[in-house]
Amino acid sequence: MSTPEVLVLKDAGDLADAIAARLVTAIVEAQADGAHAHVCLTGGHIGIACLASLAASPARDSIDWAALHVWWGDERFLPAGHPDRNETQARAALLDHVPLDPAKVHAMPPAGAGLDVDDAAARYAEELLAQARPEDHAAVPSFDVCLLGLGPDGHVASLFPQLAGVHETRRTVVGVHGSPKPPPQRVSLTLPALNAARETWLIVAGVEKADAVRLALSDAGPVQVPGAGARGRERTLALLDEGAASALPPDLRRVASP
C-alpha cells in the first residue's frame, strides 16, 4: 500500500475545484489508447461538490464519458430516487448532465426492490466481480480513482469503527446494520475492495474532522480508525482544506493550488 501524500487547499470551494480538475486528468490518462476507466464515487458535501464543479467545467468535455464506469463506495439503503441516496445526489450534480453509458453506471441496489440489505450487498459484489479483469487480480475492477470522504469518527464509506464491516477480510461488499449515522442500514465496499484501487483520494473539509484526518494519516489501526486502512495500491492522496489539515504537523502539509 502507498504512503499518503497530503495536499492542502484554502477552503472547501477551492478543494472541490481542485478535486474536479485532478479527476479530469486522472480519467483522461486512464482512457489513453481507448481504454475504459473505472471511478468509485463518494457522497457527502465535498464528494458532491466536486462533481458539481466538474459539471460546470469546460474540461469535462475531455472525458470519453461513454467509456467510463461509475461505481460507489457506499450507499444508504433507501428507495430509488430518495434525496439522501448518494446516487440521487451524484446524478443531480453531474451524472445526468453528461453522456454516460447507462450500463456503465453501477448504482447500488435500493431498498424496496425485493432485496434486503444483505441481498443488496451480495448483488453488488456479483456486479463488481463481473467487471473484474484478469489483470486486476481481485474480485473487483481496479478503480483508477477511488474517492473517499472521512467522518469525524474516522469512518470511510460506511465502514464505522468497531462495527462488523471493518473486520471483513474476504467479502468485497457488506450490508451494514446499526449504522451510527442514519439511516441504520447501508451497503458498503470493504477495505479489501477499496484497497484494490490504483489511486485512493481521501477528500476532507472542515475543522471538525481535523483529529480524524490526523489519525487516518497515522499508524492507527483500521478497526478503530477505518480511514487509516484505506490506501491505494499505487498512490494515496489526502486532499484537504485548511480546517481539515489543522491538526497535522507542519512537515506533513503541502499547500496545493486548484
| ∠ CA 239-243-249, rounded to 5° | 75
Band the pLDDT of 198: cuts 50, 70, 90: very high
Q: Which of 77, 79, 125, 130 is nearest to 103 (CA)?
A: 130
Average pLDDT over residues 61-67: 97
Helix (H), strand (E) at residue 51: helix 44-56
CA separation for the pair 99, 120 (Å, rounded): 27
User: What pLDDT, in 10s, does the model give residues 134-192?
Assistant: 888 889 999 999 999 999 999 999 999 989 999 999 999 999 999 999 999 999 999 99
Residue 96, number of CB atoms within 10 A of its CB: 11
Domains of the chain: 6-139+161-225+238-246 (3.40.50.1360)
CB distance 49 to 147 below 8 Å = no
pLDDT the model gives residue 136: 83
pTM of the model: 0.95
Average pLDDT over residues 189-208: 97
